[in-house]
Amino acid sequence: SLVTSPTSLDPPSPPPNPLNFPPLAHFSPVSPLDLPKFITGTKNSTSCLDPIPTALLKNCLPVIAPLISNIINTSLSTGCVPSPLKLASVSPILKKPGLDPTSPHNFRPISNLPFISKTLERVVAAQLKTHLTSNNLYETFQSGFRSHHSTETALLKVTNDLLLSSDSGQVTILILLDLSAAFDTINHSILLSRLQSSINITGTALTWFTSYLTNRQQFIKVNNCTSPTAPLSHGVPQGSVLGPLLFILYLLPLGNIIRRHNLHFHCYADDIQLYISTNTTATTTLPSLSSCLADIKSWMRKNFLLLNCDKTDLILIGPKSLTPFPHPPITIDNTTLSPSAHIRNLGVIFDSNLTFEPHINQITKTAYFHLRNVARLRPFLSFSAAETLIHAFVTSRLDYCNSVLFGSTSKVLNKLQLIQNSAARLLTRTCSHDHITPVLRNLHWLPISHRIQYKLLLLTFKSIHNLAPSYLTDLLLPYTPPRNLRSSHTNLLSIPHRTSRRHWGDRAFAIAAPTLWNSLPHALRDCTNLTTFKSLLKTHLFRSAFLK
């Protein structure tokens, strides 16, 4: 079978070579006064395994905090997770609308865990993240389940590299790998060994993780019907706090495998993308791509992960005159990968020339569908309720990863602007022949092009102030003038020098970010507080859009 795992585990033996950073040998206890920070901001969702509703428990927290902290601290100090905290009620959730509900493969098994269990996991996760961050143990190009990281930062880095390669007259081969049921096939013995050998988790902390993974139980609950309880001998629970973090640690060796083949890559949880740039006349680098794919497939097989070759996508990205270039076939596990015209990458549709027109067409189709539905309800909705619906179903789509759209043609972006105009007319009940600019101004809605600038400048600010991933901060360098200049010329960014006359590079984050940043008034560039910067930036862009 694909997955084999023992029913009980012993902590792995110590690694032969000690690591050169401090171990995480034990967990620090949590005081009743510190407990609310792990609970207050969480959702009020209640598991059927909880004796009382979560909302009621939160209201009683000042009284019961000492009891909860005592349970947690006993678990941390003894390295033992009580059996009731390892029982999960699994709810099968359809992965996305429109899938066949009669096929089990179309469902995602979400574990509903007891409130105390999730609180215990949050305490452990906080200390594990501190250990990972302080010792620089995260994979640099893993953006899943990490603070200051997101799908947008991941796509911004990838598009930056693609645009700069195209600017240099190269074609980039981009491959998106698809893993099947990745969270559910993790081998516990391998995971524990990795925690010790790579992360330097030892002592009681390692014993705790061993207890956490061992002898877990689950049952399925659908429409108030429950299945018999069954053991969970492999995988990490989806819906848990620690599960996603343990998964990205399980994938740690993958980055070095890819680096050995001199390929670029980026991961968002189990979404893995590889890319390599080449001249159309030089195809000698392409065998390394097939070799890398073979090594990835082999490593995944040894680590009980299943690479779905049939759902692995490939696209050629570059200037229109170069993308249809002949290249040797790229195969993985006897499956030849054929280039697609466009692929969906973390929710954004990439096309061969990075126009993002197919992506914007999809947004247009979906947004107008939701606007028509809201229009039917508009006579019965208050202004506030209608605005909430429009922001939830339309504005969220306009803003999702919109920083990668910077520099797109006005023809393409105008489609998004028409959506925003329609949303504004619907909300304010403005006639179609009335001028839209006063409506947007009264709503304090920035136009689409300014919303894109806002997002890009916000990410630039975060990169400068270490509130963004290192793979973005490394792209920005401060400008050092040859002599002292006026204060209005301070806090500038260096704009990379380019010899190419193509315009692809103008859209890349490494060039667009410092160009936009340097155009800001020095009061904004000198700002160091994120909240203040957001307010000043929106005011600046609002004036630019409406008060010219």
| Domains of the chain and any CATH numbers | 35-139+188-233 (no CATH), 153-181+246-345 (3.30.70), 357-445 (no CATH), 450-547 (no CATH)
- 4 closest CA partner among 332, 234, 309: 234
Average pLDDT over residues 34-63: 86
Specify the range with the lowest mean pLDDT, choosing from 159-168, 218-227, 532-541: 218-227
Sort 387 into a burial class: Cβ within 10 Å, 0-12 / 13-18 / 19+: middle
Q: Write the CB contacts of 64 (distance below 8 Å, at least 6 apart in sequence).
A: 57
Q: Where are the alpha helices (DSSP H) in 135-168?
A: 151-167
| pLDDT for residue 88 is more than 80 | yes
Helix, coil or strand: residue 533 = helix
For the stretch 408-453, pLDDT in tens is 999 999 999 999 999 999 999 999 889 999 999 999 999 999 999 9
According to the model, what pLDDT value does residue 502 have?
73
The DSSP bridge partners found for residue 108 are: 93
For the stretch 252-278, pLDDT in tens is 999 999 999 999 999 999 999 999 998
- 312 closest CA partner among 296, 325, 299: 296
430 with 443: CB under 8 angstroms? no
Average pLDDT over residues 38-49: 83
According to the model, what pLDDT value does residue 95 have?
83
For the stretch 368-416, pLDDT in tens is 999 999 999 999 999 999 999 999 999 999 999 999 999 999 999 999 9
According to the model, what pLDDT value does residue 283 have?
60
Per the model's pLDDT, the better-predicted residue between 13 and 38 turns out to be 38
pTM for the model: 0.91
Specify the range with the lowest mean pLDDT, choosing from 141-150, 231-240, 353-362, 391-400: 231-240
Average pLDDT over residues 242-250: 96
Q: How many CA atoms lie within 13 A of 54 on its CB side?
A: 19
Give the dihedral sign, CA 482/486/490/494. Answer: negative
284 with 253: CB under 8 angstroms? no
Per the model's pLDDT, the better-predicted residue between 94 and 485 turns out to be 94
- 493 closest CA partner among 530, 472, 503: 472
Identity (one letter) of the amino acid at 372?
R
For the stretch 133-176, pLDDT in tens is 999 999 999 999 999 999 999 999 999 999 999 998 899 999 99
Specify the range with the lowest mean pLDDT, choosing from 329-338, 363-372, 538-547: 329-338
**What's the rounded Cα separation, in Å, for the pair 267 and 512?**
24
Long-range (24+ apart) CB contacts under 8 A made by 407-414 are 407/503, 407/506, 407/507, 407/512, 408/355, 408/356, 408/360, 408/507, 409/355, 412/355, 412/356, 412/357, 412/360, 413/360, 413/448, 413/449, 413/452
pLDDT band at residue 282 under the 50/70/90 scheme: low
For the stretch 460-511, pLDDT in tens is 999 999 999 999 999 999 988 776 666 556 789 999 887 776 788 999 999 9
Residues of the chain with pLDDT > 90, as a percent, come to 70
Using alpha carbons, list the distances in angstroms from residue 294 to 194, 327, 449, 483: 22, 18, 43, 54
542 with 446: CB under 8 angstroms? yes
The whole-chain average pLDDT of the chain stands at 90
Q: How many CA atoms lie within 13 A of 306 on its CB side?
A: 13
pLDDT band at residue 177 under the 50/70/90 scheme: very high
